[in-house]
Chains A and B, each alone.
With several copies, the nearest count.
Chain A
Amino acid sequence: MTTATSETPAAAATDPLDAAALARDFPILSEQVNGHRLVYLDSGATSQRPLAVLDAERDFLTHANAAVHRGAHTLAAEATELFEDARATVAGFVGAAPEQLVWTSGATLGLNLAAYSLGAALRLGPGDEIVTTAIEHHANLIPWQELAARTGASVRYIPAHDDGTLDLDAAAELIGERTRIVAFTHVSNVLGIINPVEKLIALAQAVGAVTVMDACQSAPHLPLDLPALGVDLAAFSGHKMMGPYGVGGLYGRAEVLESMPPFLTGGSMITTVTLEGAQYLPPPQRFEAGTQPIGPAIGLAAAVRYLDGIGLERIHAHEVMLAERMRAGLAEIPGIRLLGDAAGAGNAPRVGLWSFDVEGVHAHDAGQFLDARGIAVRVGHHCAAPLHARYGVTASVRASTALYNTPDDVDVLLDAVSGIRPYFGV
């Protein structure tokens, strides 16, 4: 367990964080599961929420709740201010201006919006190519396959090396004149590897293709400056970054958002509507049809303030430390195969998660065994079936950390994992 450190402003950025103390901000983490302390290692699926987030949403709902942008009454004005402040806060969290942030219900909607709207903006058709990778989450894969099916364009995949890193030589070959869109994940939700997205962006820019980044697994774990990165569009989900369900963000470069037609249509995104047709507001409102998730957005703003208060550099350093402890421990347990263990030593830059296969024991059974000890991990293909096929398995066990996990959590996991194969007699 880390110990509390006194902070001076200068040291704060690198000071280790006190995860045990932070864990107390998360009520659920003091639950007992199957007679054991809950060891929550499933933050890659959904993170837990600190009290500050729960309270922000409840305060709003009990004191200022009203529909935004449409009422002149005091509550509506107050709600509108809180909602737009939340936009500025969440945009700022990824280095962006408020008008570059479109509210969505989550990353899946953001990526679908990107696919539908870019398809129309670029007038995609036969001969055009969409390049993505072979290690994507289904949310950044199927929308492109469907877009291709609708328009006659084709999808091409950047393959991964055995160690889980992307094959950049292949990427350089694949991304060419016909490429209109390049979509990739910043961090794989299975491998935990931070992809060299600057290089992909440079390749795409060289051929004038639009870039779309899945930032689900980076936004809660790494400091992000999306405008500096130069990516055109990037999507993330509130519930994976200590925020509420039902809200997410789609960041967009101004020119790119301007060029995109609306996807969902309805109230609050129009200038004029007649029975003949509608005219649309500029971004971000153009993409925000209907009542937005106002409470969740305000909750998400509280979440990113919480993350910023700790500091993303520190969070990242902490999680990297946990991941390295996990890797070292798992490597010593017979029959454990790590997915994406670059160069056999976890050399690729990464976030704090590992997926692994337990030889002779199905992931479901392994997960069940861990659950009996209060350890919550994820088992299955983690919505990345092609990735699993690439590494010759149908399912794996994934342990994913967040700022509230302690080295002790990792040790509890390691101890339990070492008991799996003996228990199942393999």
Chain B
Amino acid sequence: MNELDALYRELILDHSKHPQHFGLADASAGEASAGEGRIGESYQKNPVCGDEITLRARVDGETIADVTWEGRGCSISQASASMLADLVAEEGLSRAEAVALIEGFREALRSRGQLELDEDVYGDAAALSGVSKFSARVKCAMLAWVALEDAIAKA
């Protein structure tokens, strides 16, 4: 597999074409319909290309109940947001786990190809390991994760 294909894995292109949990959950209706919890929202932008994301996390006690998002950008940034939202939905993470996960993700992406993300831990998002060899794209992949970090801090 050449480096380009390692960056654009099938899974990434799939997520970017069919983004999961896209569309912000109604924040006001939150408590009544979508369940208990506090809502944290974050808007992040990559100033170079104008890519942007708005992410909403519902935190129920210490648990991240769900994540929804909206945004536009390159396939990496879109896939990354989609995969992150999936991961939260599947794993039912605590705040502390989420923070650790985000830190681990950041570290791997900044490793210049040294660290691989573990599929057992990161699910589909492990396919983003290849991004770490493309320093200019690390920001794209990080966008949603930074937004989650910020959103749960606010929730």
A272 touches B136 (CB 8 A): no
Interface segment, one of A12-20, A69-77, A171-179, A299-307:
A69-77
A24 within 8 A of B: no
B136 touches A76 (CB 8 A): yes
B11 within 8 A of A: no
**Which residues 1-42 of B have a CB within 8 angstroms of A?**
2-4, 7-8, 13, 17
Q: Which residues of B contact A80 (CB under 8 A)?
A: 135-136
A263 within 8 A of B: no
Most buried by A among B13, B50, B137: B50
A369 touches B50 (CB 8 A): no
A34 touches B45 (CB 8 A): no
**What sequence of 0s and 1s flags, for each residue 375-413 of chain A, a beta carbon within 8 Å of any chain B beta carbon?**
000011100010010000011000000000000000000
A364 touches B137 (CB 8 A): yes
The smallest C-beta distance from B82 to any residue of chain A, in angstroms, reads 14
A363 within 8 A of B: yes
B73 touches A362 (CB 8 A): yes
CA A76 to CA B45, docked complex, whole Å: 20
A368 touches B7 (CB 8 A): yes
The smallest C-beta distance from A378 to any residue of chain B, in angstroms, reads 10
Which of A81, A363, A369 lies in contact with B49, CB distance below 8 A?
A363
**Which residues 30-84 of A have a CB within 8 angstroms of B?**
34, 69-73, 76-77, 80-81
The smallest C-beta distance from A123 to any residue of chain B, in angstroms, reads 28
Most buried by B among A271, A362, A372, A394: A362
B76 within 8 A of A: yes
A368 touches B137 (CB 8 A): yes
Q: A381-B50, A394-B51 are in contact. Are A364 and B134 (CB under 8 A)?
A: no
CA A395 to CA B121, docked complex, whole Å: 34
Q: Which residues of A contact B8 (CB under 8 A)?
A: 365, 368, 423-424
B50 touches A385 (CB 8 A): yes
A270 within 8 A of B: yes
CA A416 to CA B2, docked complex, whole Å: 16
CA A8 to CA B48, docked complex, whole Å: 47
Interface of A is mostly: mixed
A270 touches B47 (CB 8 A): yes
A29 within 8 A of B: no
Q: Which residues of B contact A289 (CB under 8 A)?
A: none
Q: A72-B136, A72-B137, A76-B136 are in contact. Are A364 and B3 (CB under 8 A)?
A: no
A364 touches B140 (CB 8 A): yes
A70 touches B3 (CB 8 A): no
* Chain A interfacial residues counted at CB < 8 A: 32
A126 within 8 A of B: no
A281 within 8 A of B: yes
Q: Which residues of B contact A363 (CB under 8 A)?
A: 49, 74
A127 within 8 A of B: no
Q: A364-B76, A424-B13 are in contact. Are A77 and B49 (CB under 8 A)?
A: no
**Which residues 89-105 of B have a CB within 8 angstroms of A?**
none
The smallest C-beta distance from B126 to any residue of chain A, in angstroms, reads 20
Q: Which residues of B contact A395 (CB under 8 A)?
A: 49-51
A70 touches B48 (CB 8 A): yes
Which of A70, A272, A368, A381 lies in contact with B134, CB distance below 8 A?
A368
The smallest C-beta distance from B127 to any residue of chain A, in angstroms, reads 15
A394 touches B47 (CB 8 A): no
B49 touches A394 (CB 8 A): yes
**What sequence of 0s and 1s flags, for each residue 58-84 of chain B, a beta carbon within 8 Å of any chain A beta carbon?**
000000000000001111100000000
A277 within 8 A of B: no
Most buried by B among A71, A76, A365: A365
CA A304 to CA B2, docked complex, whole Å: 39
A394 touches B75 (CB 8 A): no
A425 within 8 A of B: yes
Q: Which residues of A contact B135 (CB under 8 A)?
A: 77, 80-81
Q: A72-B136, A80-B135 are in contact. Are A364 and B47 (CB under 8 A)?
A: no
Q: A-B pairs with the 7 shortest C-beta distances?
A: A364-B74, A394-B50, A362-B74, A372-B4, A380-B49, A77-B136, A395-B49
Q: Give me the interface of A with B, judged by CB distance under 8 Å.
A: 34, 69-73, 76-77, 80-81, 270-272, 281, 361-365, 368-369, 372, 379-381, 385, 388, 394-395, 423-425
Known pairs A362-B51, A364-B74 / 13 extra A-B pairs, C-beta < 8 Å: A72-B136, A270-B47, A362-B73, A362-B74, A362-B75, A363-B49, A364-B49, A368-B8, A372-B2, A380-B48, A380-B49, A395-B51, A425-B13
5 contacts between A and B (CB under 8 A): A77-B136, A372-B2, A381-B50, A394-B49, A394-B51
